[in-house]
Amino acid sequence: MPVIGNHMSRDLLSVGADERIADAARRMVDRGVGAVLVMDGKRLAGILTERDVLRAVAEGRVEDARVGERMTRHPETVEASESTGHAASLMIHGGFRHLPVTEGGAVVGIVSIRDLMRVVLEDSTPRGA
């Protein structure tokens, strides 16, 4: 089974918990990503996703709201050496679409449900088609 480290994104977008949600959302749009890692130095403090931003918008709390108010604290993570199937299982059972990837406790990437779908499609597409 394929491992996460071969299918994750290493080009990470990160913000601090004190950053405004509106600014984080603009950076997400500029980069075309659905989640941003919230870092406290080199330590993963949380993750802010499109859903978190949408909830803030729905409540009318975007202008002055800070990332730390809306992020998921202490998100699930997966080791780069673990299987893509394990990551998919975590996402399905946890109800989320982005998963930070670690190596020895350090954040080295992020994997999305879209990344995992590419793995499935590569495996199921007939060779030479």
Dump pLDDT digits (tens) for 82-116: 999 999 999 999 999 999 999 998 999 999 999 99
Is residue 47 within 8 A of residue 36, CB to CB? The reply is yes
Cα dist from 121 to 3, 6, 66, 97, 110, whole Å: 15, 15, 38, 17, 19
How far separated are the first and last CA of the chain, in Å rounded?
22
Over the chain (129 residues), the average pLDDT of each successive run of 10 is 92 96 96 96 96 93 90 96 95 96 95 90 63
Distance in angstroms (rounded) separating the CA atoms of residues 88 and 70? 24
Domain covering 4-124, topology: CBS-domain (3.10.580)
